[in-house]
Structure 1
Amino acid sequence: MSTEQNHQEPDPQDPGSEDAAELRPDEAAQPDAQSATTEVEQLTVDLANAKDQVLRTHAEMQNLRRRMERDVENAHKYALEKFVGELLPVVDNLERSIQAMADVGDEFKAVSDGIELTLKSFQDVLDRFKVATVNPGGEVFNPDLHQAMSMLEVPDAKPNTVIDVFQKGYTLNGRLIRPAMVVVAKSVANNTSET
């Protein structure tokens, strides 16, 4: 017997044939190509999601950094706010003392001068630390800086104008610490009656 007779070609239709898959490469490759395409699409979506997440995280970190820088800046700017608020009554009392000494006369001139110098040095320190006085006499009433204690009809004054200041206000770096307590002019009511 020849060797050609013993070697038989495998039948591609025979399911028991070992080489059946090798004979149909187009059928076997299609499921692999589809799954590879699906896997590539899924990986592309995952990559896009990961990039988006990284960008969002980066933006959040930048916002957090800016917020922290602003908070630190505000902490430095306004750290003295409570302390200054506690010292303002001392300034008020020094100013009242000077006014009281003016009414007494020249007997206490040395004491009055000493109080004025003390007040001046106190105000210089406040100026150095960016504490500004709000003394709105004659200005238009501003509810952001002034607190109206009463309103009076004053024929000579424009309505909504500060005509008297009970207590000065103060700001620290532009932020209000204490509003100025004021008296505001209101328009004079017409008391004319028809006869």
Structure 2
Amino acid sequence: MQDQENQELSQQGSGAAQTGANGADQATAATNEAAQASAGQAGVPPTEAVGTAQSDLEAQLSATEAKLAEMHDAFMRAKADAENIRRRAQEDVSKAHKFAIESFAEAMVPVRDSLEMALKVETQTVEAIREGVEMTLKQLTAAFEKNRLVEVMPQPGDKLDPNKHQAVAVVPSEQEANTVVTVLQKGYMIADRLLRPAIVTAAAPK
């Protein structure tokens, strides 16, 4: 009797184990089916998905390299343009200096011609000499004006300007202190640049 009960219990345990095994197999099969269904929905096998991602990265890398090459090319062109601008600027400055000298020399040639013509005259009156000098001075003044060479000629009583005047003496005067009394030698400016200051005497403080 006892043996029969044990046999029945053993059969029941085997049946339960078989049932559990069958359940596990069914669960695994269901999982596989779900995975296959998911892959099927994506439409891309795993190996193909990896290949696609790698291709995308390679495409992005190629695009980045192309962009860098384009930026480098633009930088080199800008650098070359800047160098050309600098070179042209230097040439323009050099030409400006050259042409400025040529312009002044061209304006001075008639002055020399007048002086040479005056020396060729053997007998001249004082009046003729004076007229010749005045004509030459007009030519020289015109040459100065053409080249923006301006006189610095302060008037008595003008305020002493250390940027344009050079006081070589301080003299007693009824004028206000530090004003121009007399001009000993006029000065000159080229445009806004001082070429030579006017030599003056200044009024002493009272």
Instruction: Report whether the alignment pairs 1:125 with 2:139.
Output: yes
**Uncovered stretches (5+) of structure 1, i.e. residues with no partner:** 1-21, 88-109, 189-195
Greater shift in the superposed pair: 72-81 or 159-168: 72-81
Equivalent residues, number: 139
| Map of 1:58 onto structure 2 | 81
Aligned counterpart, 1:6:
none
Residue 115 (structure 1) shift: 5.1
The percent identity for this pair of structures is 20
**Pick from 40, 43, 58: which aligns with 2:63?**
40
Alpha carbons of 1:184 and 1:61: their partners in 2 closer, same or farther (altered >3 Å)?
farther
Q: Secondary structure at the match of 1:142?
A: coil
2:169 maps to 150
What TM-score do the two structures reach when normalised by structure 2?
A: 0.51
Contact 1:134–1:170 (Cα < 8 Å) also in 2: yes
When normalised by structure 1's length, the TM-score is 0.54
Partner of 1:102: none
Q: C-alpha deviations, 1:46-88, integer Å up to 9, x for none?
A: 323432443454355445535543553344335549x98xx9x
**1:72 corresponds to 2:130:** no
Determine the C-alpha separation between the residues in 2 that align with 1:144 and 1:37.
Answer: 67
**Cα-to-partner distance string for 1:8-42 (whole Å, 9 max, x where unaligned):** xxxxxxxxxxxxxx993332343332133123123
Cα distance, 1:187 vs structure 2: 2.5
Asked which structure has the greater CA Rg, the reply is: 2
Which structure carries more helix by proportion? 2
1:78–1:173 contact (8 Å) kept in structure 2: no
Q: Which residue of 2 aligns with 1:159?
A: 177
* 1:1-195 matched pairs, under 5 angstroms: 24-62=47-85, 64-66=87-89, 68-78=91-101, 80=104, 111=126, 113-114=127-128, 116-129=130-143, 130=145, 131-138=149-156, 139-154=158-173, 156-173=174-191, 175-188=193-206
What secondary structure is seen at the aligned counterpart in 2 of 1:24? helix
